[in-house]
Amino acid sequence: MAENSSRLKQWNGFSSDQLPRMNDHRPANGIPLRLFDPRQGGAAFKLEPIRAGSEFLQPQRCNYFTVLWIRNGRGRFHADLASHDFRGPALLFFNPYQTFFLEPASALDGVSLQFHANFFCIETYHEAVGCNGILFNDIHGQPLVSLDAGLVPEVEHLLSQMTLELRTTGLAHAEILVSYLKVFLIKATRLKLEQQQLESSGASQSSPPVLVRLMQLIEEHYQTKRSPHEYAELLHISAKALGRQVKTQWGRTLTELIRERLLKHAKWQLLHTLRPVKEVAWEAGFADEFYFSRLFKKATGMSPTAFREFETTIRGGRNLSMK
């Protein structure tokens, strides 16, 4: 925890009322990539109200973990190739370098919470918090947690405590913020798991059983089975029928789902190892390194080499010590 205090001094504090300075890049596809960079005075943790004309209403990427608390309002949110309906009160979760935006159907009232792995790494704290693969980095599920009226005061209390701490600062400032963030993520993870259990038990039918099983199979076999036909065989269904269900449910092809899982694996390898890009690409099923690089840049806004170099630099190499 003392490490967080030193980072607080190094990064000139956190922000609750203004955007931190970030490097803005606009790739060829026109989607802006906003990079938190502590060398430019960026804030590793920030809370801001979601107002009319919010930046979240336009397609964007950033290297923060992003949580959107929607108190009131409804609409549709887009995350990479997937899109889902939302209605407040709800929490939405987005991964670093993921393209996302909101398409509101009514006025929105809410708060955005963003943090970089330099402030809180969900992989380092996975055993304590458990949100990795549940709230974040779940490429198959909906990155949404719906709340009933009884849980709203808990969310509001935690956010108000974080906002107050941002304004007051003081002894162990970063440690207190991390503690509040942990509680916030743990409560959201518990609620998400409860909702997933209801779905798997049949109490909620948001995904057909064959697709629930498909998600499990992709997670088990993505490194060895990379074609839709292989998964169709495991499920005893035609590839055409399976593909139709996937497209109807998630708005993506089965090939795209498999590719997303492979790119997620490659991203982890690039971030936490020094293995050559060619080797990472080959392990992810891409014999052509340049084709892999094009897909990776399309998915994240950066080339594999630039992604690794930038994140390793701003993290001081700490990402490479993970196993």
115-144: pLDDT as tens digits: 999 999 887 776 667 788 889 988 777 899
Q: Average pLDDT, whole number, for the chain?
A: 86
222: part of which helix (H) or strand (E)?
none
Please name which of 309, 266, 10, 275 lies closest in space to residue 317, comparing C-alpha atoms.
309
pLDDT band at 11 (very low <50, low <70, confident <90, very high): very low
pLDDT of residue 147: 94
Q: What are the pLDDT digits (tens) for 74-113?
A: 999 999 888 899 999 999 999 999 999 999 999 999 999 9
Angle at 220 between CA 205 and CA 202, to 5 degrees: 15
The domains found in the chain, sorted by start residue, are 2-201 (2.60.120.280), 209-321 (1.10.10.60)
Query: What pLDDT sits at residue 138?
Result: 81
Identify which of 229, 227, 235 has the alpha carbon closest to the alpha carbon of residue 209: 235
Q: What mean pLDDT do residues 9-20 have?
A: 37
Kindly state the percentage of the chain with pLDDT values over 90: 65
DSSP state of 115: E
